[in-house]
Amino acid sequence: MKTAVTSIKPFLVGLLAALILHSTSLNADDWPHWLGPNGDNKVAADDQFDPNLNNWKIAWQSNVGLGYSTVTISNGRAYTMGHDGGSTESVICYDAASGKMLWEHSYKAQLIPKMHVGGPNASVTISGDMVYSVSKDGQVYCLMAKTGEEVWKADLTEVMDIKIPSWGFASSPLEYKGDMLLSAGKVAALDKLTGRPSWVSEHAHHPGYGTPTVFNMGGKDFIAAFDSKGLSILNAANGKEIARHPVRAKFDLTASTPVVLDGGKSIYIHANSESDLLSFDGKTLSSKWSNRKLQNSLSGAILIDGSLYGLNGNHKSKKTQLYSRDFKGGEQYWSVPNFGYASLIAVGGTLLILTEDGELVSAEASTRGYNEISRKKLLDAICWTNPVYANGQIYVRNDHGVLICLERA
C-alpha cells in the first residue's frame, strides 16, 4: 500500500491533540455531520421551529459552487463544499447567524460531471475544533474549524489502492473513537490526529456512494457499509468482514446510508432496484422482507415511531411517490403518487421535504395519511441535497450552489 498521508503539519498535530482533550462541546441543537446529531436525519422540534413555512423568511443566501454537500453546523459556524466548475474545489465556513464567510479552503480537484453537474458529494464532519472533508476525487482534509488552516491531507485512491469511482467519492467522514471512517467498496479508518490509516478492509467490493454507519450489538461495535453490489458488516475494531448480503443495483449505483434498527438486529437498505429489511445476529445477515417495487436511487428513509418515511422512485422522475410504511413487515400505510423526487428529514413530528425542483414542503409524520402543512418554492436547478435544521434555521441548496438559510419571520 502506498503512503496514505501526502502532507502533515507536525506543530498542528500537537495542537490538535490538545484541542481534542479540551474540545468545545457541541450544542444540542447543532447538526455536526451527515444525517444529523444522531445519524438518523432527525432532530427534536425546539421552540423556534414552526411547521408552517409561510412563517419563515430568507435570513441569508450565498453561492457555494457546484455540488451536493449538505450544510453542517457547530458552535455558530456553518460548513459546506462546492466546486467552481473549472479545477478548484473548496470547503467554506460561514457565520451561521449572518451568512458572513469566515474562511475558504480551496484546492485543485476534479469536477467529474457524469450525468450531473459534478462537484463534491460528501458533507463536512465537525469534531471538536477540527473539521474533516472529502473531495470528489478522494482528497481527505483535516482543517482547523475556526480558521480553515490545514492540519493534514490524505488521498483515498492511495489509502484504499483503488481508482476514483465512476461518480467520484461520496462517503462523508464518520467519526468512530479516534478515527474517521470512509467507504468506497473498501472501508478505511484514518487516524483523526495524523490521517494515517489505522486499518483498511480487505475486500475491494465495487464502490458505492453512501456513508457507513456504526452500531453496537451485544457489547461489540460493528460497521454497516453499503456498496454497489451489497451490504457488508465489518468488525469496527479492525475492519474484518463478518457478513455480506448481495444486492443488484441498476448502473452499479447505491447512494444511501443503511438504517440500523433494533440495536443492530434489523438493517434497512434502500436501492434503485429494491429495498430490503435484513436481520443480523452478530454473525450472519438474512432477509426479513424484500420489495423490488420499492426503489430509491439516491436518498434513504427515516424511521419515526415504527414507520418508515421515504421516496419510492428514481431521481428526475415526476412519478416518484412519497410513502409511509411499517418497517417490520413492509406494509404500506399510505403513498402520494406523482410527488416527484425529493429528500427529507424530520423535525419532531414534522417532515421537511425538499423536492428535486426546489420546493420545501412540510407535512405531518403520521401513519393515518398524508397531511401537507405548507409548501414554499425556494430554488431552481436540481436539488438532491438533504435539507438541514439547526438552531432555529433551515438550510437548503441546489446543485448549482445556491445556498439559502431560512429563519422565522
Cell output for 56: 419563515
Evaluate whether residue 298 is within a structural domain: no
Q: In what order do the strands lie in the sheet with 230-235?
A: 213-217, 220-227, 230-235, 241-246
Return the SS3 of 397.
Answer: strand
User: Which among 251, 253, 213, 217 has a CA at the least distance from the CA of 232?
Assistant: 213
Residue 4: domain span: 1-35+66-210
Evaluate whether residue 331 is within a structural domain: no
Q: How far apart are CA 130 and CA 19, in angstroms?
A: 9
Instruction: Give the model's pLDDT for residue 1.
Output: 40
Instruction: Give the model's pLDDT for residue 299.
Output: 86
DSSP state of 54: G
Q: Measure the N-to-C terminal CA separation of the chain; round to a whole number of Å.
A: 55
As a whole number of angstroms, the longest Cα–Cα distance in the chain is: 58
Evaluate whether residue 255 is within a structural domain: no
Evaluate whether residue 59 is within a structural domain: no
Instruction: Give the model's pLDDT for residue 297.
Output: 81
Evaluate whether residue 270 is within a structural domain: no
Q: In what order do the strands lie in the sheet with 388-390?
A: 56-63, 402-408, 393-397, 388-390
Any bridge partners for residue 275, and if so which? Answer: 270, 291
Evaluate whether residue 264 is within a structural domain: no
Any bridge partners for residue 395, and if so which? Answer: 388, 405
Q: How far apart are CA 280 and CA 404, in angstroms?
A: 41
Cell output for 157: 485512491
CB 201 within 8 A of CB 171: no
- Residue 407 sits at the vertex; the CA angle it makes with 406 and 409, to the nearest 5 degrees, is 120
Q: What is the CATH number of the domain that holds 81?
A: 2.40.128.630
Instruction: Give the model's pLDDT for residue 193.
Output: 97
Side chain identity at residue 202, one-letter code: E
DSSP state of 137: T
Q: How far apart are CA 357 and CA 365, in angstroms?
A: 22
Q: Residue 106 class from Cβ within 10 Å (0-12 exposed, 13-18 middle, 19+ buried)?
A: middle
User: Which among 139, 147, 246, 216 has a CA at the least distance from the CA of 182?
Assistant: 139
Side chain identity at residue 300, one-letter code: G
Evaluate whether residue 20 is within a structural domain: yes
Instruction: Give the model's pLDDT for residue 284.
Output: 98
Percent of the chain with pLDDT over 70: 94
- Total of domains in the chain: 1
Looking at every residue in the chain, the average pLDDT score rounds to 94
Side chain identity at residue 110, one-letter code: Q
Q: Where are the beta strands (DSSP E) in 145-274?
A: 150-155, 174-176, 179-184, 186-191, 197-200, 213-217, 220-227, 230-235, 241-246, 259-261, 266-270
Instruction: Give the model's pLDDT for residue 72.
Output: 98
Considering the entire predicted model, what is its pTM?
Answer: 0.94
DSSP string for 250-271? GGG---PPPEEEGGGTEEEEE-
Instruction: Give the model's pLDDT for residue 9.
Output: 74
Residues of the chain where predicted confidence (pLDDT) is lower than 70: 1-6, 10-28
Q: How far apart are CA 314 and CA 138, in angstroms?
A: 26
Evaluate whether residue 167 is within a structural domain: yes
